[in-house]
Amino acid sequence: MKSRFKWLATLVALFTCLSIAANFSLTEADAKKDEGTLKVAMEANYQPYNWTQTNNANGAVPIEGSKEYANGYDVKIAKIIGQKLHRKVEVVKTEWDGLLPALTSGKADLIIAGMSPTAEREKAINFSQPYRNSTFVVITKINSRYANAKKLTDFKGAKLTAQQGTFHYDLIKQLKGAKRQPAMRDFAAMRQSLISGTIDGYVAEDTESTSFKMVDPDIKSIPVSKMSGFHATKDESVTAIGIAKPNKALLKSVNQILATIPEAKRTKLMTEAVKQQPKTDNNKKGKKAKSEPWLVSMWRQYGGMILNGIGMTLLLASVGTIAGFFIGLAVGIVRTIPTPTTTGKRWLLKFVNWLLSVYIEVFRGTPMMVQAAVIYYGIAQFWHLNIDRTVAALIIVSINTGAYLAEIIRGGIISTPEGQFEAASALGMTHNQRMWHIILPQAIKNCLPSITNEFIVNIKDTSVLSIISVSELFFVGSTVASQTFKFFPTYLTISAIYLILTFTITRIFNLIEKHLQGSKNYNLMANQVQVGTPKDMEAKN
């Protein structure tokens, strides 16, 4: 009886290991977070405010937990603050929606991410004085009939648009008489439309016109911010630095430092940033760069990043599937332990089974994306445990996969023919011996297609971990897409990579399955070696 509970011990040991791993990375993260580092959260994906690059050129600063660097206007401002505070700046690369949680959970000290201090956000965090005032412009072609507009009404009849989901699009309403076109997804689309003539112009910040001019001198930007009758709220026109509410001292020093950066210096920094932002050959008209196919130049610039992304995706999927398999195996085994004879053990087993079914229900019943956010940010916020994001991602994929595989393996155990149990029992085997030597090998073999499937699903579904900014393939892909302004070809390339990965892995597992299956017929001649010499054979014949 006692040995049956070895399974339980195994399970407990497994969870202990996981928590030790978490703890280990916790202390590691704590050690890193000394006084010397100023952790600044940003997308590193919003040019020219911030972006990701593969080297430290132009004074870029390292991105925490990766080999990449961040640069941009925000980084330049962060460096000034860091210098004055005598703290080294490190960028915490975070998805837009993860910025506030990163701050409130203590994973970052500051948000410098081109963020506007809206009333909604001010409920959660404090904002410094603005570190940039935006100027809004209408970007049009130099030979456009709206190129010389002087007042808001001069845009009458112009087909204008702006980026989807931004207030820029609402600003068009203030240009009386302009024909507001459907909003567009990104600047790349708007630049294309402007050049092809389907629109007369689009509303954006002056930074966009500066960067656009660098690749196409034939455009003109008309500032509208100063035109009479134009109105933009503070929310919309300024960007400020976010600081956690309790951190009053830091807020004070940041404000003091910002006061020492004059407007002229700010403009200079922004111009620098626009010039330094990763070059794209987008819209280059017949210049020499055209001879090189897009894919080649993209790969030259981002190939390393993408390879790292592939590596991270494979790491997450394989570690997640393997660890998930062992979790699933342990859970599946515990859930098929026969009812013990003593009452105490029976209740214990009942309780453990109940716990395990809660685990399975919860993790199968909620999206992995939500689990990732809850575990990564929630744990940091409520228990002040700072888990490394890669470790967090590994844990999440593992326990998520474990929940699925637990049921698959339990099914595999249950569906093993009753005769196999009986034949093993009749030989006098204990429950554990039956399990290890007879039932599990068959159950696992029968589960292999499902396990393969889970692996494939993991390769694709780890993309949702971009929510906690793990730089897996999809996260890298979205970085490349927004920096090159080539959404379609980038995502097409990324999906091709996913397809190659899943296709290859499926074939490998098919081969393994085929190998395990063996041949249908037994070839007497080929298999006789072990029994006797050919002489014996002759004698028999």
Partner 1 sequence: MTETNETILSLKHIKKTFGEHQVLKDISFDINKGEIATIIGPSGGGKSTTLRCINLLEEPTAGEVDFHGENVLAPNYNRNIYRAKVGMVFQQFDLFENKNVLANCMVGQELVLKRSKDEARKIALANLKKVGMEQYVNARPSQLSGGQQQRVAIARAICMDPEILLFDEPTSALDPEMVGEVLSVMKNLATTGLTMIIVTHEMAFAKEISDQMFFISDGIITEQGKPDQLFNHPQNEKTVKFLSNFQNN
Q: Interface with partner 1 by CB under 8 A: which residues?
A: 417, 419-420, 422-430, 433, 437-438, 441-442, 445, 518-522, 524, 527-528, 530-532
Q: Which is nearer to partner 1, 125 or 329 (CB)?
A: 329
Q: Which is nearer to partner 1, 383 or 522 (CB)?
A: 522
**Distance in Å, CB of 352 to partner 1, minimum:** 25
**Rounded to whole angstroms, how far apart are CA atoms 371 and 382?**
15
Q: Which is nearer to partner 1, 288 or 535 (CB)?
A: 535
Q: How many other CB atoms are there within 10 angstroms of residue 116's CB atom?
A: 18
At residue 69, the 3 state secondary structure works out as: strand
Q: Which is nearer to partner 1, 332 or 402 (CB)?
A: 332
Q: Which is nearer to partner 1, 338 or 365 (CB)?
A: 338
DSSP 346-382: HHHHHHHHHHHHHHHHHHHHS-HHHHHHIIIIIHHHH
Q: Which is nearer to partner 1, 365 or 428 (CB)?
A: 428
The verdict on whether omega for the bond into residue 48 sits within 30 degrees of 0, i.e. cis, is: yes
Q: Which is nearer to partner 1, 157 or 441 (CB)?
A: 441
Q: How many other CB atoms are there within 10 angstroms of residue 28's CB atom?
A: 14
**Rounded to whole angstroms, how far apart are CA atoms 70 and 41?**
11
**Distance in Å, CB of 459 to partner 1, minimum:** 29
**Distance in Å, CB of 342 to partner 1, minimum:** 11
Tokens standing for 159?
């087909």
DSSP 158-210: -EEE-BTTSTHHHHGGGSTT-EEPPPBSSHHHHHHHHHHTS-SEEEEEHHHHH
Say which residues have a Cβ less than 8 Å from residue 502's Cβ, sequence separation at least 6.
Answer: 456, 459, 460
**Rounded to whole angstroms, how far apart are CA atoms 298 and 81?**
33
Say which residues have a Cβ less than 8 Å from residue 344's Cβ, sequence separation at least 6.
Answer: none
How many angstroms from the chain centroid is the CA of residue 275? 28
Q: Which is nearer to partner 1, 59 or 417 (CB)?
A: 417
Q: Which is nearer to partner 1, 182 or 518 (CB)?
A: 518
**Distance in Å, CB of 447 to partner 1, minimum:** 13
Specify the residue for token string 């203590």: 106
Closest CA to 475 of 489, 490, 488, 465: 465
CB 475 within 8 A of CB 176: no
Q: Which is nearer to partner 1, 218 or 422 (CB)?
A: 422
**Rounded to whole angstroms, how far apart are CA atoms 162 and 184?**
6
**Distance in Å, CB of 334 to partner 1, minimum:** 21
Q: Which is nearer to partner 1, 196 or 342 (CB)?
A: 342
Q: How many other CB atoms are there within 10 angstroms of residue 413's CB atom?
A: 22
- Residue 375 per-residue DSSP state: I
Q: State the amino acid at position 252 in one-letter form.
A: K
Closest CA to 510 of 448, 440, 446: 448
**Distance in Å, CB of 441 to partner 1, minimum:** 4
**Rounded to whole angstroms, how far apart are CA atoms 418 and 274?**
71
CB 372 within 8 A of CB 391: no
**Rounded to whole angstroms, how far apart are CA atoms 386 and 392?**
10
**Distance in Å, CB of 341 to partner 1, minimum:** 9
